[in-house]
Structure 1
């Protein structure tokens, strides 16, 4: 759903220029320092990148999902770390509040998230609850007008920088599974919160994750999202449906960047007196990448349009996240192969993308979880149609 083509094109042009003039030249520096320069983050705030998906009434740009993914295509033609610093504000960190929060919760938190004054983080994964989110063990016990949280969350993106966490915790019994999970807004300066050491990762330097430990952390009851217990799992799933479309768009943008680099190298690098792009087996890798990238881009836009129209899209979100993230991995593999020995060296930056995009097949639900979601949804649809 494109509301105003002219305005969107102007925004896309601004982001594209920012990516090429500011972010791409800083990629190696960010990878070396494992940090994004504060000046670049301030520029991201001024452009409005932290509030793309937050409604205008709260200070954001209020992009539709189709507008959002088209912008992400452009933003992600650089190191995925740059997208990661704004990603939690655009998606999993804010959407639970936006979708199911009370008016008071929205008024209090969304303006700060839209401006980038506060960075949000989404605390769902635990040491023994990742893909099976319904089995989480963090507890929230009601004591008068507060909930007391205890438990550990793992691999939490942007936790070291976060000012607020959306936390999934169990208010019911373990045998209630999903029905016993509730969602809370927890300010990062609340006593009882401890952060673990920043994780050392395979890639995505400049994007930080760590454990978040809650020890008798007292959270006001008014911070229960929606004011109703037992709705947290549903909130998380609605948030993840949208997040999966977003991550698929990230995969498309990153794959486009890698393919652009591979094409340029194939046209310029010479062997046996001619550009390697003249060799048919190199052409096959370029053609396969372009074909899969085209398919993924079309899938992302279709899924985004379905969500914008208010149609059921859980299956499509899982399909596009599965296909696009796997596609991106294949494009990364081919890009290194086209570069040959140079692709294995850090100077070209190709090996960095190869490592960075590997995570796309894991977070927001692994590829295997997407397969389960797709198949189970298919079976439910069949049973409804033939019951």
Structure 2
């Protein structure tokens, strides 16, 4: 890896690669054959991947390096940890000291909803105030790590119109897990809806202030996009390594491998730089979204380069490249399609006022307006409800607003006698 790593990060990377070579090989074979990961296994691995310091200056850079390394063995395992780390980040970023101590004292596996759309519309959970706090009721769609998680992070709407983020225990009364989804790739990652029925929570379970729920989930969404980019880069690296081992010639043409290696290095650099921005407490949302868009748009590009190098094996059920293709093909279920990612980027970064307008159907050219159309525009936009509008007649106007010098000199502004 040609990233500019610190001495501590270099040591971490070496330990991660040793872990994938020496301990994960058997586990990965089991995951691929059964499609499941047991909770004790994840908890044991979580302990090995626990940060030495819960709040190091480079904690997200470390997590990105971990995702890159894990994805080179199992993309499903990497995504399972990435989802848990999104919740870990929410607790470390928005939680109270008591919450950091409570959840950071021992390795935990967290679950949260996949966020393919803007989080403002992703929650159907309602929080009803009670004496001790709230009761949560509703459905949380497509929760990741649903069967392995000990806690879930959920978004709920509290009266009158405030969003709150809450941590709830998976074994709390009123929590029901739906039928798991069997994804095409990312084996081992469990996805299902959960139904909440009058699940009690208190202020101790609330992450951030009341009304900060959308902000908490938006950061989780950006971090999820960043992890998805890292996992995609890990998959590409794995595909390149497999091709070099299985190529029809002992030394495949460098001209064929170079494009796949270049696109992988570009994505690795992109996600690592975004993680550094987050560690420096700078805004990393734009960088994370662009990395996710780049990864999504180019998801299959390396495979088109690499598959011809292994001949007929590329088209059999034993081809490792087919399995890796399925992994990247499943990622839109977690972070959204190209169109959804582009829409999110436009809405949050480009401030495009028309991004929520459906693109289906014929496109209408913008209407050309002149000053004489002012009264029509005012009425159409319902800028006034109780004052009749009749632009063009000073005699009937109740108020007159003058532009030009009048905005600075009161003598040019007047009110008709009537």
The TM-score by the shorter chain falls in which range? 0.7 to 0.9
Q: How do 1:135-154 residues align onto structure 2 when only pairs under 5 Å count?
A: 135=121, 136-154=123-141
Distance 1:152 1:381 in 2: 31
Distance 2:40 2:15 in 1: 17
How far the C-alpha of 1:165 sits from its partner, in A, is 0.9
User: Does residue 1:166 correspond to 2:153, yes or no?
Assistant: yes
Matched with 2:189 is 207
Coordinate RMSD, CA, aligned: 2.9
Check the 8 A contact 2:94/2:207 in 1, yes or no: yes
Matched with 1:23 is 24
Distance 2:148 2:40 in 1: 15
3-state DSSP of counterpart to 1:301 = helix
User: Does residue 1:94 correspond to 2:65, yes or no?
Assistant: no
1:154-181 Cα shifts (integer Å, max 9, x gaps): 22111111111111011145xx5xxx32
Distance 1:181 1:235 in 2: 10
Matched with 2:280 is 309
How far the C-alpha of 1:211 sits from its partner, in A, is 1.4
Matched with 2:179 is 197
Q: How do 1:237-386 residues align onto structure 2 when only pairs under 5 Å count?
A: 237-266=218-247, 269=248, 277-278=252-253, 285-380=256-351
How far the C-alpha of 1:61 sits from its partner, in A, is 6.8
Matched with 2:102 is 108
3-state DSSP of counterpart to 1:310 = coil
The 3 A distance-change label for structure 1 pair 138 and 333 is: farther
Q: Give the stretch that moved more between structures: 31-40 or 235-244.
A: 31-40
Structure 1 regions of 5+ residues with no counterpart? 383-387
The 3 A distance-change label for structure 1 pair 143 and 378 is: closer
Distance 2:348 2:120 in 1: 17
How far the C-alpha of 1:147 sits from its partner, in A, is 0.9
Matched with 2:112 is 122
Check the 8 A contact 1:165/1:185 in 2, yes or no: yes
| TM-score (structure 1 length as normaliser) | 0.81
Structure 2 regions of 5+ residues with no counterpart? 354-418
Matched with 1:6 is 7
**1:134 paired residue among 120, 123, 130:** 120
How far the C-alpha of 1:6 sits from its partner, in A, is 3.0
3-state DSSP of counterpart to 2:252 = helix
The 3 A distance-change label for structure 1 pair 171 and 185 is: same
How far the C-alpha of 1:323 sits from its partner, in A, is 0.8
Check the 8 A contact 1:137/1:151 in 2, yes or no: yes
The 3 A distance-change label for structure 1 pair 326 and 24 is: farther
Normalized per residue, the structure richer in helix is: 1
How far the C-alpha of 1:62 sits from its partner, in A, is 6.9
Larger Rg: 2
Distance 1:148 1:379 in 2: 38
1:328-364 Cα shifts (integer Å, max 9, x gaps): 4322444344334312323232211111121234423
How far the C-alpha of 1:137 sits from its partner, in A, is 1.7
The 3 A distance-change label for structure 1 pair 303 and 42 is: closer
Aligned length: 350
User: Does residue 1:230 correspond to 2:231, yes or no?
Assistant: no
Distance 1:16 1:160 in 2: 28
Check the 8 A contact 1:194/1:214 in 2, yes or no: yes
